[in-house]
Amino acid sequence: MSLLVTGSIGIDTVRTPYGYNKDCIGGSAVHFSMGASLFTDIKFLGVVGADCPFDLQRLFAGRDVDLSGLEVRKSSKTFRWHGSYEGDMNEAKTEAVELNVLAEAPPSVPEGYRNCEFVFLANTAPALQLQLLEQMGSPIFTAADTMNHWIVTANDDLKKLMDRIDMLILNEGEAKLLTGQRNLVTAAKMILDMGPRFVIIKKGEHGSMMYNTQGDIFLLPAFPTPIVIDPTGAGDSFAGGTMGYLAQAGKVDVIALRNAMVYGTVTASFTIGDFSVHGIQAATREMIEERFDVLRKVTQF
């Protein structure tokens, strides 16, 4: 089944203990699509300025990514992010950010996108995410991501969004900030009370946790990766692998979601192995399946 994603396309500059990568392709929609397109066809919805130096058709060559929803605004500038990582690299330090086109109205949804069965609202302003949903038909399953900035500055819009979606994906710090709780189980329950049927809390090198309104819980470790080069986009590619598998399966139940989270975890493990999208861009479905089997074996007891 088709999967629509909307989010940012960015010009990133990243420094980690392994090097410095200036003006590289980034953005939540890009990292998500790189992961999700290993599983299903993607309807890509996003906007860039005239200064965007990247050829996305070439970037996604060989992947089933429909870019007819990509809008280029001649009078605007592309979103830019400059960040760095130190120590265990579990959290990025934002050095500079220029919202540019992301501070403007969202792109219009092409007619051919409106009936997508699965929708993912990658990290952007909740008001823009809500505007996108208003243009959609009746998707089977809708999920969204968010971040600390929106939790603090757009909490009311975020609460409205959560009443409209089936699943929220966020990291440990965001879950604690959103709920005011230190215990993640308590935080997960509070998030479910806000509207979604499922919540996935990402815990970086410590894996992820899923909780649903039926009381089902699933804990998954991260893939055992010896070297982390650049964590940028790992959370987005995790969401991409997760949603891509669900769209491929065409259903969402506890078993499907558990498998989806394993695929998401494996997908993210390729992203962190190189700067920008180079790690996940080089991955194949066969490579994904190999790591899926490894993770399944190391978690059996």
Q: Which amino acid, one-letter code, is at 294? A: V
- What pLDDT was estimated at residue 236? 96
Predicted local distance difference test score (pLDDT) of residue 87: 86
| pLDDT score for 91 | 82
Q: Where are the domains of the chain?
A: 3-299
pLDDT at 253: 94
Q: Does 301 have pLDDT greater than 90?
A: no
pLDDT tier at 149 (50, 70, 90 boundaries)? confident
Only one residue has tokens 């860039």, namely 48
- Are the beta carbons of 197 and 172 closer than 8 angstroms? no
Q: Indicate the CATH number of 3-299 among 2.40.50.140, 3.30.460.10, 3.30.70.1880, 3.40.1190.20.
A: 3.40.1190.20
pTM of the complete model beyond 0.85: yes
Band of pLDDT at residue 273, cut at 50, 70 and 90 = very high
pLDDT digit string, tens, across residues 74-96: 999 999 999 999 988 888 899 99
Q: In whole numbers, what is the pLDDT of the chain averaged over residues?
A: 95
Mean pLDDT, rounded, for 48-63:
96
**CA separation for the pair 14, 203 (Å, rounded):** 21
